[in-house]
Amino acid sequence: MCDEVRVRFAPSPTGDLHLGNARTALFNYLFARHHGGKFILRIEDTDTERSTDEATQGILDALGWLGLEWDEGPFFQSERGDLYRTAIERLHNEGHVYRCFCSPEELEQMRNAAREAKQATYYQSEYQELPRDKSDALAEEGRKFVYRFRVPKGGATEWDDAIRGKVVFQHDTLDDFALARSDGSPIFLLSNAVDDADMRVSHVIRGEDHLTNTAKQIMILRALGHPVPQFAHLPMIFGMDNKKLSKRHGATFTLQFRDDGYLAEAMLNQLALVGWSLDDKTVLFSHEELTQHFSLERVNKAKGIFDYERLLWLNGHYIRELPLEELIRRSEPFFQFAGIELAGRDPEWLRGLFGLVQERVRTLKELPEKLSYFLTDALEYEEKSVNKFLKKEGVAALLRKTGEVAGAVEAFTIEGLEEAFRQWVEAEAIKFGQIAQPLRVALTGSDASPGIFEVMVYLGKERCLRRIDAAIERFCLV
């Protein structure tokens, strides 16, 4: 037995990667990296009814986006049937498992009766003590059956959870559970435990919803004579209303965040902070810092809520940190979606443009709208801004003069424009704000934009003058 850290992420491919699962994957990954161990990816597709290839691909894509590279796998349980069949046979031969010939209806009845009688367990049948030869005979008759694990009478199963401490389940509160379906295919409880043993998993880090499964899986592992891994149960993630995370709260699928303009850096940082923290003040963590500092000891026990507001703030932070080239590269798909082509533009000019709005956006998705008036001449005027700054007495004259001043500037640079406008403002004793806002609306269509001189420079003299004239003609009172 070696001390190598081996962890696995074992999603079932029945849908997109949920935030909670993404966090589980992240913690497993970080734990492996921190300890120089192995991160294994295992696809639990034993439920052929619900598993799909698209879901598997989606999970792989999501992990790829987050940069959670696995060292082994992906392994598919659907291809490992022999392993589970062998395990079942052994358990059956050794008496840990028996055939249960109950019909779904009978089981349902037992459950209802137990609930009514306020019993902890419901399963009780003649098959529990049916001699093997009788059981074999029934099977040969073709009677449908499932294999059930015989939970020992009396006693308890306990383990020392890395996050929760000692957890104990009394055996008389547990029902004999099914390990294989009537078609012979293995059920999660079995395949999961068998694979963990086969893959020599040292630490099982998973969601708290698996707590009761753990007692059962430890029993399986012991019956099979396998070592029991260290278990660590992560707290759940909820939405702001303390309910299970659902569409109502916003995006809940990992890839949705990518498509909404979030950076993997921000997502990783945010996910790490739900249930884990380093100290009393650090909130910003790079991928490297996360692997450097992560430890199970600092994982929280209490449920967490996914704070979309903080994710937004983190995303803005990481966008501001991005080199301009990188920012342009990553936002390209969003421009394409908006019907704006970036290819072929002057790189220098483009960098300047992005520099103008880098600290004004919180998602990549906002970039096209914030930059559209530079990249297209089909200007969209905000009605509110137009009414407030253009449809006013005297604005026409002011804008006309603005056009003259701007048009007379030889060096169309920030400094040149600043100087020209300063002189005008001083000569006429007016406030610059009176000029700036109407001009801003005329040039950008909005009353919020980067510095007005920057806007003018990146627009160029020609377009500035044209837009000023267009605004006067279209909106200003005569």
**Contact set for RNA, span 131-170 (CB under 7 A):** 144, 146, 164-165, 167-170
Among residues 138 and 312, whose Cβ is nearest to RNA?
Answer: 312
Nearer to RNA, 90 or 310 (CB): 310
How many angstroms separate the CA atoms of 413 and 453, rounded? 8
Quote the least distance from Cβ 261 to RNA, whole Å: 15
Q: Does 305 contact RNA by CB under 7 A?
A: yes
Interface segment toward RNA; rule CB under 7 A; list 195-203, 249-257, 280-288, 397-405: 280-288
Residue of the chain from 125, 230, 256, 437 that contacts RNA (CB under 7 A):
437
For residue 253, which phi and psi values (nearest 5 degrees)?
-100, 135
- The site string for RNA over 314-333 (x = CB under 7 A, - otherwise) reads --xx--x-------------
Quick one: which H or E segment has residue 467?
helix 461-475
If one counts every other C-beta atom within 10 angstroms of the C-beta of residue 95, the result is 10
Nearest distance in Å: CB 344, RNA: 28
In the range 244-263, which residues lie near RNA by CB under 7 A?
244
- Give the sheet arrangement for strand 178-180, strand by strand: 97-100, 146-149, 178-180
Do the bridges between strand 146-149 and strand 97-100 make them parallel or antiparallel, or are there none, so unpaired?
antiparallel
Site for RNA in 15-44 (CB under 7 A): 44
Contact between residue 77 and residue 43 where contact means Cβ atoms under 8 Å apart: yes
Active-site residue, from 244, 247, 384, 401: 247
Q: State the Cα–Cα distance between residues 284 and 307, nearest whole angstrom.
A: 15
Cβ at position 471, least distance to RNA in Å = 16
Residues 258, 334 contacting (CB under 8 angstroms): no
Q: Residue 245 CB, nearest distance to RNA (Å)? A: 10
Q: Are strands 156-161 and 165-170 parallel, antiparallel or unpaired?
A: antiparallel
Question: Nearest approach, Cβ of 189 to RNA (angstroms)?
Answer: 6
Residue closer to RNA (CB basis): 102 or 268? 102
Q: Could you give the CA distance from residue 14 to residue 11 in angstroms, rounded to a whole number? A: 9
Residue count (the chain): 478
CB of 122 to RNA, least distance (A): 6
Give the residue, chosen from 33, 327, 450, 457, that forms a contact with RNA under the rule CB under 7 A. Answer: 450
Task: Kindly state whether residue 103 participates in binding RNA, applying the rule CB under 7 A.
Answer: yes
391 is catalytic: no
Q: Give the residue, chosen from 113, 120, 411, 477, that forms a contact with RNA under the rule CB under 7 A.
A: 120
Nearer to RNA, 32 or 178 (CB): 178
Alpha helices in 67-200 (DSSP H): 81-93, 104-116, 132-140, 188-198
Residue 477 to residues 167, 187, 299, 358, Cα–Cα distance (Å): 77, 76, 64, 36
Cβ burial of 417 (10 Å; 0-12, 13-18, 19+) is buried
Q: Which stretch binds RNA (CB under 7 A): 53-61, 90-98, 295-303, 347-355?
A: 295-303
User: To the nearest whole angstrom, how small is the minimum distance from the Cβ of residue 475 to RNA?
Assistant: 18
Selected binder of RNA within 18, 34, 85, 111 (CB under 7 A): 111
Least distance (Å) between residue 478 CB and RNA: 25
Using CB under 7 A, which of 57, 93, 95, 115 touches RNA?
115
Give the angle subtended at the CA of 348 by the CAs of 342 and 351, to the nearest 5°: 65
Q: Which is nearer to RNA, 212 or 336 (CB)?
A: 212
State the Cα angle at 212 between 206 and 213, rounded to 5°: 65
The Cα 404–Cα 77 span in angstroms is 75
The interface with RNA within residues 178-217 (CB under 7 A) comprises 178, 181-183, 187-189, 192, 208-213
Site residues for RNA, 357-396, by CB under 7 A, read 359-360
Helix axes 347-357, 324-337, angle to 10 degrees: 90
Candidates 3, 53, 141, 279: give the one binding RNA (CB under 7 A): 279
Catalytic sites, residue numbers: 247
